[in-house]
Amino acid sequence: MNETALITIVHDPEGINIPFYKTVKDRLNHMYSELYITLSEESSPELRFELENSRFRIKTIPKKGVTHARHEVLNFGMSGNSQYYHYCDFDRLLTWAIRYPDELQNIVEDIPNYHYIVFGRTERAFYTHPLEWTETEKISNKVFSLEFGQDMDITAGSCGFSKQAGEYLIKHSRDKMTDAEWPMIIHKIGRLRVNYKAVEGLEYQEEISGHNETANEADKWFGRLNLCYIICESAIKSNREYGIINS
């Protein structure tokens, strides 16, 4: 019996994800022990309808950014009965389930072997992303890897963890972004091992993940650069501060 629950987030006012979700709806229903999603109140009513007619448990939240949504779905999912969790951004999950379903199935089945595992991208999957993503995420990943002491791609929007690890995240997560902070919490405060696996399924598909991108090229670069700065700052700060907590 599968022990792993899915927790995911979505903000989709135009319902872009609906046809892709319909393609993998049954697959996802059978893949996880439980399914939890936070849905922004601005999201498409048609998408809500599709989710309501599935095994997803839905929590509607105001649009306050990715980190707020991740905290909300973490608390929501941890209220359930599962002992292990797979977090994945919804657009990432759809791409993974459509393009690499066997890999995703194997990942879900493997999560109970870890307290915390970061899912990054293979080199091929990484370079499917827009240039402004890859150039800035190289920096975020490098700064985190230097602080953590192991090379990792932490900016792919997916991880797996045990309920024990999730309790540490609920108690201590407070940064502007969770990508660097969550593994640091588990490593520094929880004193639990953080594992890593690069996968193919976290590739970029424009038709699924590109609809939130602004048309202005300078704005795209500035936005990704700002995100890079926030994640780098989080990596450095959480490593230093959480080390003090356990000193």
Q: Residue range 151-166: average pLDDT? A: 98
pLDDT bucket at 211, cuts 50 / 70 / 90: low
Residue among 136, 221, 124 at smallest CA distance from 177: 136
Q: Residue range 52-79: average pLDDT? A: 97
Average pLDDT value for the chain: 95
Q: Give pLDDT tens digits for 214-231.
A: 568 999 999 999 999 999
CA 118 to CA 143: how far, in whole Å?
16
pTM of the model: 0.95
Structure-token pair, residue 218: 């300078």
Cα-Cα-Cα-Cα dihedral sign, residues 192, 101, 170, 134:
positive
Which phi and psi angles does 56 have, rounded to 5°? -65, 135
Structure-token pair, residue 86: 């797979």
Identify the pLDDT of residue 234: 97
Do the beta carbons of residue 107 and residue 86 sit within 8 Å?
Answer: yes
